[in-house]
Amino acid sequence: MNLSLPATDHSVPGDSTVRVQLDDRSYDIEISSGKVERFADSVTRAIPDLSHALVIFDEAVKEPWAAALSAALASRSDVLRISSTSVASGESSKSIDEYDRLLQWVLAEGGDRKSVVFAVGGGVIGDLAGFVAASFARGLRFVQIPTTLLAMVDSSVGGKTGINLPTAKNMVGAFWQPSLVWIDSHVLSTLPDRSYLSGLAEVVKYGVIDDADFFSWLEVNAVGLVKRDAPSIRYAIEKSCQSKARVVGEDERETSGRRAILNYGHTFAHAIEATCGYGTLLHGEAVSIGMQMAARLALAMGLAQPDLLERQTQLLTSCRLPVVLPDANPDEMLPVMMKDKKVAHGKLRFILPKRIGAVSLVGDVDEKLVREVIQQSR
């Protein structure tokens, strides 16, 4: 197996395109680095009749990023108007109040069915601006421009949009596919270390759930990824997006169970986030520990062999991600897990690995085992 960077995978050196195949809702994920001048051309290909752009950006990426993208759009003579507004960084912006403010803003800017929303930021902006696009005037086209690793490899792809209710994350939303996902990995060079590394947890996830060769590549190239080696990052984003696109193409609306595999480690992770207090751990850090708990559960149920847990532990550790949670408390985590969207009629269900590259949805899991693996992960 060749574990070096396969340069021949790329039509233009350093650039690649992954197609999300969804009939008339198909779209490209374009991945490049330091090519902001190409943005306008990419948008023209995806949305030839763009006339009014509604740019919604995270305040943290205004300068120079959102400003440069707006300037690129303004260079097109057919783009008549560019409206832009910033959103405060952080999960609290995914609220009904902020959603309401953005709808009023789109209205005040003269938005109509031909306007196009551009979401520039991490997962919060993508979800929020995507839901504005999904719901204003029964649906506007939109473009995702993710600026965090986590958003590049996961939340910007697949059309999940939405906001939080005060006591329920992601409870209101819609499946609404973007017309284009435009990724410039150069923007990651300014991301704080913790945020960048936490995105690697979702990258490792794709290796475990879908792509054993990619997992092996990650084992060899983790050091380069941690050091933010640009070609390695681009390749990891491309492979992650290929997996995500494949899964979304097979089960767009999470009806067959196939898309649920993307939630590997997430039932534990959501309980970790809720019980440790949101913000104590970053989402990717909680996912890393959650994948460890899920792998231990697979072992305890005789579904997987010990080397799976060993390899996953080693890779996550190489990515500088946490693999244990000293404060993990099964008495606090279990009630949260019982409320998870994957609980069916009071029975706990988990995405569990069978081997590297293959997982399955396992129902009716014994609560006692779940408690044990939480204890083992402290």
Q: Report the interface residues with ligand GLY, using CB under 6 A.
A: 154, 158, 160, 259, 262
Distance (Å, whole) CA 281 – CA 321? 11
Q: Note if 227 is an active site residue.
A: no
Could you tell me which residues come within 8 angstroms of residue 102 by beta carbon, excluding any fewer than 6 positions away?
56, 85, 87, 128, 129, 132
Considering the candidates 63, 138, 227, 345, report the single residue annotated as catalytic: 138
User: At its nearest, how many Å lie between ligand GLY and the CB of residue 50?
Assistant: 26
In angstroms and rounded to an integer, the radius of gyration of the C-alpha atoms of the chain is 20
Distance (Å, whole) CA 341 – CA 266? 11
Considering the candidates 252, 254, 273, 285, report the single residue annotated as catalytic: 254
User: At its nearest, how many Å lie between ligand GLY and the CB of residue 144?
Assistant: 12
Q: Note if 266 is an active site residue.
A: yes
Q: Compare residues 147 and 221 and give the one whose CB is closer to ligand GLY.
A: 147
SS3 assignment, position 209: helix
Q: Note if 345 is an active site residue.
A: no
Considering the candidates 30, 202, 252, 285, report the single residue annotated as catalytic: 202
SS3 assignment, position 349: coil
Q: Compare residues 210 and 330 and give the one whose CB is closer to ligand GLY.
A: 210
Q: Note if 10 is an active site residue.
A: no
Phi-psi region of 324 (alpha: psi -120 to 50; beta: other; left: phi over 0): beta
User: At its nearest, how many Å lie between ligand GLY and the CB of residue 205?
Assistant: 10
Angle at 112 between CA 106 and CA 117, to 5 degrees: 55
| Residue among 53, 46, 88, 56 at smallest CA distance from 72 | 53
Considering the candidates 234, 266, 296, 342, report the single residue annotated as catalytic: 266
Considering the candidates 221, 263, 273, 349, report the single residue annotated as catalytic: 263
User: At its nearest, how many Å lie between ligand GLY and the CB of residue 123?
Assistant: 9
Q: Compare residues 30 and 252 and give the one whose CB is closer to ligand GLY.
A: 252
Q: Compare residues 28 and 82 and give the one whose CB is closer to ligand GLY.
A: 28
SS3 assignment, position 351: strand
Q: Compare residues 253 and 339 and give the one whose CB is closer to ligand GLY.
A: 253
Residue nearest to ligand GLY (CB): 262
User: At its nearest, how many Å lie between ligand GLY and the CB of residue 350?
Assistant: 15
Considering the candidates 35, 234, 239, 259, report the single residue annotated as catalytic: 259
Contact at 8 Å (CB) between 5 and 231? yes
Q: Compare residues 66 and 151 and give the one whose CB is closer to ligand GLY.
A: 151
Q: Note if 62 is an active site residue.
A: no
Q: Note if 263 is an active site residue.
A: yes
| Alpha-carbon torsion (50, 51, 52, 57), positive or negative | positive
User: At its nearest, how many Å lie between ligand GLY and the CB of residue 177?
Assistant: 12
Over the range 28-57, which residues count as b (16 or more CB within 10 Å of their CB) and which as e?
A: bbbbbbebbebbbebbeebbeebebbbbbb
| Residue among 174, 107, 183 at smallest CA distance from 150 | 183
**Active-site annotation, residues:** 138, 160, 202, 244, 254, 259, 263, 266, 270, 283
